[in-house]
A and B are shown apart, each in its own frame.
Chain A
């Protein structure tokens, strides 16, 4: 094995997080009783593409369309089983659409930060580790949006999938021979509840290794079941 490959392999092993990743978090004390609140299901952010050999995302519009169709259906099927009234987001004449798109993207950044700095215990930020809380949010201004009036919570859902190209899979094999672990494919999903009174993130399910091929109906149903697993207020199966 070339010396630089061995060196990098050792460096990677030293760098790799040793603690297991958590996948669900909620604000301490947060509970939701069935039949007590109104939840708005925001338009999901769905991105599907291929992962190049170098790990770059190559968006695929056809796959994204397929995933959007199947995930929308799977969410529609799941909506009535969440224990509370869950309605689809309607922009109406509010003009809130572009801002809500930004909130959806901001939610994604918050959820990614929770994964990185809360769900990996070994990587927690010292200021957050000490208070042992779950202090995340998008700001209280979201509750002032006209199109969300009358709702108690907003349910955000993001999925981002990149299916590994042949080259990427080959790289994975070559790297494994050098002792370096490289993943092929990206399958990230976030489902989170934002309290519309405070803007706080009160519940989050998030994982960077989600299951289910979202390009198929069966896979999308599996993904939605995983995203909404343990949803607050939902009756146990």
Chain B
């Protein structure tokens, strides 16, 4: 019996210290990285995260509206902390990744560890993140854990071989449309 991965998963799934308030104004060092943003409204920063360089902001909880910042995931590292390296290996960031590889990395990660039973990358287009070339894409997915259909919108870029990715996800019904403008306003303030 593999006890260690199970105990790690259990500890990771348990609420840790309190969630914190993100006030309007400049916010540097997001996800322990060069990412910065200037939110105009308030957000909640969850204490629970899925990795070392991951930060999650929400309004009503991560099941209902969730912005994930992945700040400089370097070569050989995974987007999320691996729960079971042997049975559910996650794809690793490669320093030679193209921008067009980023959506597939997210999808493969979710299929491996996110209990995702359906996922599609719906649109992809060139964009800029700060002053850098980036890819903007939309997607939709359903997890077996709650069977809620969710939509996502993301922007990603590679800087010196490290991945910077920001995603917004919410249930297709009601929440996605309600909060997408807040995400896009935040996105427009991103600096890298």
* Contact with A53, one of B1, B43, B59 (Cβ below 8 angstroms): B1
Q: B4, B20, B63 — which one has the most chain A CB atoms within 10 A of its CB?
A: B63
Q: How many residues of A contact B (CB 8 A)?
A: 46
Q: A102-B173, A108-B146 are in contact. Are A8 and B61 (CB under 8 A)?
A: no
Question: Within 8 Å of chain A (Cβ to Cβ): is B159?
Answer: no
Question: Within 8 Å of chain B (Cβ to Cβ): is A235?
Answer: no
Question: Within 8 Å of chain A (Cβ to Cβ): is B7?
Answer: yes
Residues 154-185 of chain A, each 1 if its beta carbon lies under 8 Å from chain B, else 0: 00000000000001001100110010101000
Whether B64 pairs with A113 at a CB distance below 8 angstroms is yes
Question: Within 8 Å of chain B (Cβ to Cβ): is A69?
Answer: no
B143 to chain A, nearest CB (A): 10
A219 to chain B, nearest CB (A): 24
- Chain B residues with Cβ below 8 Å from A170 are 1
- Chain B residues with Cβ below 8 Å from A171 are 1, 3, 6
Whether A5 pairs with B147 at a CB distance below 8 angstroms is no
> In whole angstroms, what is the CA distance A12 to B19 when docked?
17
Question: Within 8 Å of chain B (Cβ to Cβ): is A78?
Answer: no
Instruction: Give chain A interface residues in 1-36, CB to chain B under 8 Å.
Output: 4-5, 8, 11-12, 14-17
Question: Within 8 Å of chain A (Cβ to Cβ): is B104?
Answer: no
Nearest A residue to B15 via CB reads: A123
* Contact with B146, one of A11, A112, A126, A178 (Cβ below 8 angstroms): A112
- Chain A residues with Cβ below 8 Å from B173 are 99, 102-103, 106, 138-139
Q: How many residues of B contact A (CB 8 A)?
A: 39
* Contact with B19, one of A102, A124, A136, A182 (Cβ below 8 angstroms): A124
* Contact with B21, one of A117, A120, A127 (Cβ below 8 angstroms): A127
Question: Within 8 Å of chain B (Cβ to Cβ): is A110?
Answer: yes
Whether B63 pairs with A55 at a CB distance below 8 angstroms is no
B163 to chain A, nearest CB (A): 28
Whether A110 pairs with B64 at a CB distance below 8 angstroms is yes
Instruction: Give chain A interface residues in 168-219, CB to chain B under 8 Å.
Output: 170-171, 174-175, 178, 180, 182, 199
Complex A-B: 23 CB contacts under 8 Å? A5-B7, A8-B11, A12-B10, A15-B16, A53-B1, A54-B2, A55-B6, A55-B10, A102-B148, A102-B172, A105-B147, A106-B175, A116-B61, A125-B44, A125-B59, A126-B21, A127-B21, A127-B42, A127-B59, A138-B173, A141-B174, A171-B3, A175-B6
Interface residues of B (CB under 8 A from A): 1-4, 6-11, 14-16, 18-21, 42-44, 58-61, 63-64, 84, 144-149, 171-175, 178
